[in-house]
Amino acid sequence: MSRQRHVPECSPHDPPAVAQSTERRLDGGANHPGKAATPNGNSDASHQFWRDSIAPHEQPSLPRSLFDLATSVVPYLALTVVMYLSLSFSVWLTLALAVPAAGFLLRTFIVFHDCAHGSFLSNRRANLWLGRATSLLVFQAFGNWRHKHAVHHGTAGDLDRRGTGDVMTLTVEEYSSRPWKQRLGYRLFRNPLVMFGLGPIWSLMIGPRFWSRKMRRRQRHSVIETNLVLMVIVGAIIWLFGVYAWVLVQVPTAILAGTLGVWMFYVQHQFEDVYWESSEQWSYSAAALRGSSYLKLPKVFQFFSGNIGLHHVHHLSAKVPNYNLQRAHDEIAIFHDVPVLTYRDGLRSIRLKLIDSKSGRLLTWNEAKSQA
């Protein structure tokens, strides 16, 4: 992994409350830290510099957005229909078609993701309704997912605000102080077979179906309404083709797309020298530039993942549409000195389990044991 060398000066409190106005921000608001959050002149100047640099890349393009839809939602739906029809010829053909279908489902998720940030289309209402429509294809409740994801953007790398919209990661001290049952549960959760085997099914199909009283009313309504619509859609498909057909078509596609998606989300914030700071020292800009990796992927995988490997750009400004991420990275010097990971680095990062709260590094089990 290439290590960061220099990060421009940042305020320790760039956006102190990104998630406090989640829906307003993501329905078309700024969705990036406001200038008022920077407390001194030097930070103001640094903040204004990167804001001015990235602003041109935040403008959605209707032709590019339509191209994204034509290379994500449309082929995914077409392949899904073909998969159902192919069951009468060969189950193996159906399962083979799940591979390209999973790729297009992953791209569809990126469209949904951009709509949640209000960055895919210039019209706020169009983003909202396209996001709701694509949420049904990726089995998510749009309003609830959007809120949790906004919290993730506002707290990534903050040791004191972990637990919402991120991968659960304990410090060495927290893990050591837990009862043995909780330590066992954490070890199981961080096991690759669980995280990348059961994890995709849970995070894509099962987990989003639940709500609690702790949620805001809008979040609860989002989950309940999505569940009702999905019941109608899935029920109609089962009525037409049967449960067996639905499982053979939807589940393999969801597992393949979900596994790749979960792995990418994991490695983009889980690498050895990742950024972790207490709330007092936490900085939005530093979390984006040092705590979000540039995951370099082969071009075909970059296409199917909607450029989300350029995660450092996305976290500095979530208003940049996925199709502008590469150009923003290439044209803005601030992005040329960030943590770079290859897919091999991403696979090796799966060994990292606990945070060293003193250095901010992620440790393997053996490294953590040697510190005990």
Q: What is the pLDDT of residue 9?
A: 39
pTM of the model: 0.85
C-alpha span between 38 and 241 (Å, rounded): 57
C-alpha span between 224 and 300 (Å, rounded): 36
| Cα dihedral 25/29/30/33 (nearest 10) | -30
- One pLDDT digit (tens) per residue for the chain, 372 residues: 544 434 443 333 344 344 444 344 434 343 444 333 333 334 544 566 677 889 899 999 999 999 999 999 999 999 999 999 999 999 999 999 999 999 999 999 999 999 999 999 999 999 999 999 999 999 999 999 999 999 999 898 888 888 777 888 999 999 999 999 999 999 999 999 999 888 888 888 899 999 988 889 999 999 999 999 999 999 999 999 999 999 999 999 999 999 999 998 888 888 888 888 888 888 888 888 888 889 999 999 999 999 999 999 999 999 999 999 999 999 998 898 888 888 888 888 899 999 888 887 899 998 888 876
Q: What is the pLDDT of residue 47?
A: 60
Q: What is the pLDDT of residue 204?
A: 86
Residue 11 C-alpha from the chain's centroid: 25
**Contact between 139 and 254 (Cβ < 8 Å):** yes
> Helices H, strands E: what count in the chain?
19, 4
Q: What is the pLDDT of residue 125?
A: 94
Q: What is the pLDDT of residue 5?
A: 38
Q: What is the pLDDT of residue 32?
A: 42
C-alpha span between 266 and 269 (Å, rounded): 6
CB proximity list for 40: less than 8 A, separation 6 or greater? 11
